[in-house]
Amino acid sequence: MREHAPCRLRALGMVNALGALSDEIWQGLLAGDQSRLTWRDDLVPGRSLLVGEVRSPLPEIPSALRRYRCRNNALSLAVLLGLEAELAAIIAEVGRGRVGVVMGTSTSGVSDAEAALCHNAAHGVLAPGFDYPQLEFGGAAGFVAAYLGSEGPVYTLSTACSSGARALASARSLLALGVCDAVVAGATDTLCGLTTNGFCALQAVSDELPNPMSANRKGLTLGEGSAILLVTREEGGIQLEGVGESSEAHHMSAPDPAGGGAENAMREALRDAGLTPADIAYVNLHGTGTPLNDAMESAAVVRVFGEQVPASSTKALVGHTLGAAGAMEAGFCWMMLARASDGQIALLPHAWDGRRDPALARLRLVDKGERARVEGRVHLLTNSFGFGGNNCVLVLGGELPC
């Protein structure tokens, strides 16, 4: 193991299409449950699309913070309420000035801005209650800090689909530098017309159930949600052990077809964690279900790990939650470690039709009910690859109870 400052992922909160309670989400993951995906016909004119919409009731933003009222921040608040005791305890322990906030997003409050502009077109004024902080990227972290009353560094990252992973990487840096003693880090993104129409223009959205790594894959399914973690400079528990980042800048939207940037990020994450490929018990794939991503990622994973490492994509269950995806999928890995018992870890199944694409490098995709027996410490790796070649790979690790 490489020696570096500890970075404990002390607590996790999450909401997505599978639900808002950790047990509900966990059971949906293990079951490979795609039934929570729903149809929307109001996002793209003349087209009905399957999406990972959050249908759990969302809390009201307090009146004192009404300038932040939007669906994106309501998703964040739903998660913060579930972490309230842990967050209050850390603020009391280290002080408000030593608690930072780093959030990722790619849409922020765009859906509320769309509604405000529609109201303006009909009535000549923006919708009542609309305020700029609902829309700006900075509002994602600004709201969380304002709600918590934290006074440490506050900023939002937006590197497309790797935003949430980079938020956790940034949290680790703030702790290692001694700037903070704790960081509230994660990401939130919301379904909106702007993003959905953009992906449709790229011909990247499927009209069917998402089918990553299949010969029949036809694109991604968009989703929304929030995942927030409390990150501290403590030993023990579940640790963020390694971070690998690369920026290949191959194309504005398409990945390097050879997967060079993805491979570099995975190898750097392993190096940073002081691990070898053989130490990784499971890989959470970026796994969008688009022809280009799946081709480059499968090739890169096989070059780094070979064909035997268990791997799966969870986007087929909750949709591609865009800027939230990196934090969401790190959260899924956190759940795997937190719920391990008897020297075994439940592997997340790969939901697809089972039809392998002979043109793809052959991954060992996880079946339902699979468990891995691991002695001592177990390490999981999760991939996040964003537009413009913004790649971020995280390694999480924890000691399994015997």
* Domains along the chain with CATH numbers: 8-399 (3.40.47.10)
Label residue 282 by pLDDT band (50, 70, 90).
very high
Which tens digit of pLDDT belongs to each residue from 310-335?
Answer: 999 999 999 999 999 999 999 999 99
Q: Is the pLDDT of residue 2 over 60?
A: no
Label residue 1 by pLDDT band (50, 70, 90).
very low
Instruction: State what percent of residues in the chain have pLDDT above 70.
Output: 96
The dihedral sign for the CA sequence 2, 323, 106, 296: positive
Beta bridge mates, 9? 231
| Catalytic residue from among 161, 180, 192, 333 | 161
| Catalytic residue from among 7, 320, 350, 392 | 320
User: Mean pLDDT over residues 278-283, rounded?
Assistant: 97
- d(Cα 150, Cα 102) in Å, to the nearest integer? 12
The predicted structure's pLDDT at residue 272: 97
Q: Is the pLDDT of residue 353 over 70?
A: yes
- Token output for 16: 């997505």
Choose between 113 and 401: higher pLDDT. 113
Q: Is the pLDDT of residue 147 over 90?
A: yes
Pairing of strands 38-44, 47-51: antiparallel
At 56, give phi and psi (nearest 5°). -65, 145
User: Mean pLDDT over residues 139-166, rounded?
Assistant: 96
Shortest CA distance to 25 belongs to which of 79, 76, 72? 79
In the chain, the amino acid numbered 64 is A
- d(Cα 27, Cα 65) in Å, to the nearest integer? 34
In the chain, the amino acid numbered 392 is C
Coil/strand/helix, residue 297: helix
Coil/strand/helix, residue 378: strand
| Catalytic residue from among 7, 180, 192, 286 | 286
Choose between 290 and 342: higher pLDDT. 290
Catalytic status, residue 320: yes
What is the average pLDDT score of the chain? 94
Which tens digit of pLDDT belongs to each residue from 29-70?
Answer: 999 999 999 999 999 999 999 999 999 999 999 999 999 999
- d(Cα 139, Cα 391) in Å, to the nearest integer? 24
Residue 201 buriedness (CB in 10 A; 0-12 / 13-18 / 19+): exposed
Q: 222, 49 in Cβ contact below 8 A? A: yes
User: Mean pLDDT over residues 284-311, rounded?
Assistant: 96
Q: Average the pLDDT over each of 104-118, 169-183, 244-258, 286-300 and give the range with the smallest value.
A: 244-258
If phi > 0 it is left, if psi is from -120 to 50 it is alpha, else beta; for residue 30 that is: alpha
Catalytic status, residue 286: yes
Catalytic status, residue 251: no
Which tens digit of pLDDT belongs to each residue from 8-17?
Answer: 999 999 999 9
Which tens digit of pLDDT belongs to each residue from 187-236?
Answer: 999 999 999 999 999 889 999 999 999 999 999 999 999 999 999 999 99
Which tens digit of pLDDT belongs to each residue from 259-275?
Answer: 788 999 999 999 999 99
Q: Is the pLDDT of residue 253 over 60?
A: no
